[in-house]
Structure 1
Amino acid sequence: MSVTPLRALPIDELRQRTSTKWRKYGEDVLPFFVAETDYALAPAITEVLTRAVRLGDTGYTPPEPGVREAFVGFAERRWGWKVDPSHVFWTGDVMMGVVEILRRVIEPGDRVVVMPPVYPPFYDTVEEAGGVVDRVPLIETADGWEIDLLGVEAALAGGARAVLLCNPHNPTGTVHSRQTLAALADIAEGFGATVISDEIHGPLAYAQRPFTPFLSASDSAGRVGYAVTSASKTFNLAGLKCAVMVAGGDTQAKELRALPWEVEWRTGLFGALSNVAAYSADSDEWLASLLAALDANRMLLADLLAEHLPQARYLPPDAGFLAWVDLSAYGWGENPAVKVLRDAKVALHHGPLFGTEGKGYVRINFGCDPDLLREAVERVGALARS
């Protein structure tokens, strides 16, 4: 059955938004840097938030906001993953969850494996938890990026106590295979290490490479792991604070129950309401339309780059709306986003912020109107020809 792609909102309407994407730069700049999308909210979310505002339902988040049940239902519908409800907890956002779990599983000074190029807050989160970043870069192949399992094994053998996994990976958009995730879990279990998987982009995996939740990859993954996720990236809810923490087993669930009560209280009421609506079956049709739009845009970007920036290197992501693009052939320095912003008035995310492996790269948000994406690439292409 064909799905009608979701249409982005008009730019004059988008410029009325007050979020970071539309307020950091002036109206002469096209914003493609931060991970906010340009679509109207899913109707179920608009309905629940509108009702809350009308009622003045703006108080504290209740002890049982429905997040647990909604996520359990979504995980089973979407991925066939049967999550034990007693293993599900919630907090304000994914990085809050990650840092609180890290505080439970490492001691100050312990090393934590991260896999650059990776979402910049990963580095800060490890340090906030008292850990030390242990870099094990992804391996780039002709077909994309892969986890360096031998590198992870060496890091754990050298004393690292935890692995911070990005699944799907940001910024490359890599969906790690079940086999790779199971192998990672086996390695971690062999060294008594913990794996914490950030799975915020999981609902945005395309059909060609289905998403595997880490905790479902194998029995050993359940024994060593935690997952932290949210509807916020898929449904554009970053300003409404709510994330889900999932324990791989009873032992991890005990650790999550032992977290300070404030960790749960950081969840915003609007965040909880909107996550419940997002995870409900009422939002499944909207999500299918979103994926159809993003799927078309990720391939459109490949065509646009081939036409206007033929020396750029880009592999369409397996998941998400973020493109990892190598512009180093154009000689615009280690951080080409600086020149692109200054001279083309297009704001892209700075590649080096993702690690030294990001030198010469930019990250482009293609969760937008195709014509806006076309205009942005044309502007950068003109800069390359000048």
Structure 2
Amino acid sequence: MEIEPLAALRRRESVKWRAYPGDVLPLFVAEMDYPVAEPIREAIAARVAASDLGYAFAPGRMGAAFAGFAERHWGWAVDPAAVRTTTDVSVAIVETLRRAIRPGDGVVITPPIYPPFFDLVPEAGGRVVEVPLLDDGTAWDLDVEGISAALVNGARAVLIANPHNPLGMLSRRLGELAEVAARHGAVVVSDEIHAPLVHAGETFTPFLSVSDAARAVGVTVTSASKAFNIAGTKCALMVAGSAATLALLDGMWDEVTFRTSLLGLHANLAAFECGDAWLADAVAEIEASSARLVGLLAEHLPGVGYRPPAASYLAWLDFRGLPEWGDDPAGLALTRGVALNPGPTFGTQGRGFARLNLACSADVLEEAVRRLAAAAPKLSP
């Protein structure tokens, strides 16, 4: 996949290219430097050419389009009639939780976790209950026993990222989570926005495909936005696995669905129906970038830990072996012209970590690691 030169990328107007001065390499927000897939460009251009920029008639054929994508990629049989749309995944999470809990109810999240989760729960009227991931030194996974204890103590919902952000983790304990949630009458909201970006040799398991218990308690929220780099087009999906959870979705205010962008709807349709070839190229590029990062760190920053993700384009870098970098290595990185996501924003478990975006050119990644390596001598007396 050919990536535009850095000078051309800097002409983009998104937050990735406007948040920092022009001499900073922006490897923070989850935007890719890859060109938009041609079917998506054509779909958006067709709506503009037709002067068709009104309100979306949603979900339209989205249910069938996503069901086809899910079957091809994961062997997941989605009922097209159980798919609803809204503006974006954050809205999908908030509105689902708003229907699933009472004001003040606890909602479990699993830090280190996507920072907005800490805000989306109170926006929905809930109270954040942290149950950190377990780490055995080689792999992370859900603390199902801890989640069960939180539900015993009154939490009414569980919000997970599957695949996990920022770790790119594919949990092996989703079935256990479903059983625990069903036993306690809790709803599980599974954010699966990074699912299309699973790497070769890895297997993604949609939460609603796990078991009858998962289908009974789960709602999947997702979008083509992360995998196809179209976050600005504003369309996300909510998928129910049972009559009860579909009733939960259909109990939302009409405006939740009505806010779906027509351009976003057609961009997602094009991605799910016609984007497989582009997606395969993007995943291969991400895998190559991840392997490249392993080598660059070994050469220039051997004290930084990195476990390559099983999915997505996010690298979770562990600077704790270099205490001079402190609790927030991203702060020092920025002084050397590299913008990373600060680890502490992912929860206290993120102290000493930073998140780096791999979806960039080889030249940009190499220059970023060289700049980070050059930061270290400045810390010496």
TM-score by length of 2: 0.97
Between the aligned partners of 1:216 and 1:155, the Cα distance in structure 2 is 24
Change (3 A) 1:64 1:162: closer
Task: Identify the match of residue 16 of structure 1 among 5, 11, 19.
Answer: 11
Of 353, 356, 361, which aligns to 1:361?
Answer: 353
Which residue matches 2:199? 206
CA–CA distance in structure 2, aligned partners of residues 381 and 328 of structure 1 = 15
SS of equivalent to 2:108 = strand
CA contact (8 A) 1:140 1:146 kept: yes
CA contact 1:309–1:384 (8 Å) conserved in 2: no
CA RMSD of aligned residues (A): 1.0
In structure 2, C-alpha distance between the alignment counterparts of 1:287 and 1:222, rounded to whole Å: 28
Amino acid in structure 1 at the alignment position of 2:90: M
2:320 is matched by which residue type in structure 1? S
Give the residue type in structure 2 aligned to 1:199. E
Distance 2:209 2:131 in 1: 23
Q: For structure 1, which segment, 370-379 or 333-342, has the greater mean C-alpha deviation from structure 2 after superposition?
A: 333-342
Aligned-partner residue type, residue 290 of structure 1: A
Is this contact kept in 2: 1:119–1:170, CA < 8 A? yes
Aligned to 2:299, the other structure's residue is in SS state helix
What's the CA shift for 1:58?
Answer: 1.3
One-letter amino acid of the counterpart of residue 179, structure 2: D
| Superposed structure 1 runs of 4+ greater than 3 Å apart | none
Matched, 1:384 2:379: no
Structure 1-normalised TM-score?
0.96
How do 1:1-386 residues align onto structure 2 when only pairs under 5 Å count? Answer: 6-177=1-172, 180-280=173-273, 282-330=274-322, 331-342=324-335, 344-386=336-378
Q: Deviations over 1:60-111 (max 9, x none)?
A: 1124442222111111111111111121101000010111010111001100
Alignment partners' CA distance in 2, 1:13 and 1:66: 36
Distance 1:364 1:35 in 2: 9
CA contact (8 A) 1:174 1:319 kept: yes
- SS of aligned partner of 2:158: strand
Q: Percent of aligned pairs with the same residue?
A: 50
SS at match of 2:321: helix
Consecutive unaligned residues in structure 1, runs of 5 or more:
1-5
Deviation digits for residues 109-144 of structure 1 (CA, Å, limit 9, x no counterpart): 100100000001111110001111000000112322
Aligned positions, number: 377
Residue 54 of structure 1 and its aligned partner are, at CA, apart by 2.0
Unaligned runs of 5+ in 2: none
Indicate conservation of the 8 Å contact 1:86/1:253, yes or no. no
Q: Is the 8 A contact 2:317 2:355 kept in 1?
A: yes
